[in-house]
Amino acid sequence: MIIGTVSPVPSVNGSAPLAKGLRAWYLTPGQNPGKGILQDLSPAGNHAQLLNNATSFAGMPSSGGQFLATDFDGVTGAAKVLANPATSNLFLSGGMFASWVCMDSYTAQPRLFDKNQAYAAFTANNAGSLSLSLFQWFGGNIGIFASTTPNQYPVPLSVWTHIAIVYSSSSAANTPVIYINGQAIAITVSSVPSGSAVDDSPDALGIGNTIAFDRPLDGRMFDVRFYKGFLPDATFVRAVYQDAATGFAGTLAYSRRHRRKKSTAGGGGGGSSSPPGPAINNAAGFSGNRRAFHAGGLNLGGF
């Protein structure tokens, strides 16, 4: 597969590339992994607790181990984030979940994320490729939105694949857009929602499992993002997909600036203290090691 040039990353509000609406960003620095913690590099700093056999994983193809993936064991491993305003009702006013994932095997409806009233899961395995669905509870009837032909099983096992789900649950008539490697795929409405979206603000967030540990993911996740308060368009989604290949420079710079502002003002992050931003080599990162990124099995076909 030939890797071409990377499209320019759009600037949001003139100065914050890829940072509009970024409410949580789970990306662990290799030089400071934090034992038992999946770090939130967004200004909110709502770090996740790695539970059971979920661990930071140095095998993610990155620039000299600059960032780590999280490895889930497919049994009880999970990352748990306590309930907080930043990740509550993610889709109510428009939002997006995005992550790189590399699945080792399929278990029963393994969760990418789970907020109890809203969750994304793989739902079937067909010859080593997985189908994907978004579930959103409404007062009258649950909404279930599933990948369908010609891309009913868009996520192959053992290949790093980027997933993004954009949705507004403000109306039961809305449907999400699911992107695989920066490209929208066809979906079907498996269950038509009715009523109003159910409030999930009291619920903790599970990544790679439910917080009851009964829908475990067997594989690795990397660069997990939650955007809230707007509906990213296709250009924005594709830039998020490409951000790993540009070293995350724009998003990290934004996060670090806002951390400094909070520190100066004495403000706190939503529930836990924020560690210093990681050291960044702007000339390195993934942009300096894209061949290694690709050789490690990462699916960068859209470049």
Find the CATH number of the domain harbouring 278: 2.60.120.200
**Of residues 206, 295, 182, the one with CA closest to residue 26:** 206
Domain that holds residue 291: 22-295
301 within domain boundaries: no
Task: Answer whether 3's CB lies under 8 Å from 300's CB.
Answer: yes
pLDDT classification of 256: cutoffs 50, 70, 90? low
Burial code of 208-222, b = ≥16 C-beta within 10 A, e = fewer?
bbbbeeebbbbbbbb
Q: Is the pLDDT of residue 182 over 50?
A: yes
Q: Is residue 303 part of a domain?
A: no
Q: How far apart are CA 72 and CA 92, in angstroms?
A: 29
pLDDT for the residue numbered 242: 84
Q: How many angstroms separate the Cα of 189 from the Cα of each of 143, 144, 151, 172?
A: 7, 6, 15, 11
For residue 3, being part of any structural domain is answered with: no
Say how many residues make up the chain. 303
Report the number of distinct structural domains present in the chain.
Answer: 1
Average pLDDT rounded to a whole number, residues 261-282: 35
Q: Using 50, 70 and 90 to split pLDDT, how confident is the model at 208?
A: very high
Is 111 part of any domain?
yes
Question: What's the pLDDT score for residue 60?
Answer: 53
**Range 45-54 average pLDDT:** 93
Asked if residue 14 belongs to a domain, the reply is no
12 within a domain of the structure (yes/no): no
DSSP state of 196: -
**pLDDT tier at 218 (50, 70, 90 boundaries)?**
very high
pLDDT interval class at 66 (50, 70, 90): confident
DSSP letter, residue 1: -
Q: Which tops the pLDDT comparison, 269 or 184? A: 184
Query: Which of the residue ranges 51-55, 217-221, 257-261, 278-282 would you say has the lowest mean pLDDT?
Result: 278-282
Within-domain flag for 302: no
Q: How high does pLDDT run on average in the chain? A: 79
pLDDT mean over 132-142: 97
With pLDDT > 90 as the criterion, what percentage of the chain qualifies? 61
Is 13 a member of any domain?
Answer: no
Confidence band (pLDDT; 50, 70, 90) for 41?
A: confident
Residue 206: the pLDDT is: 97
Residue 219 DSSP SS3: strand
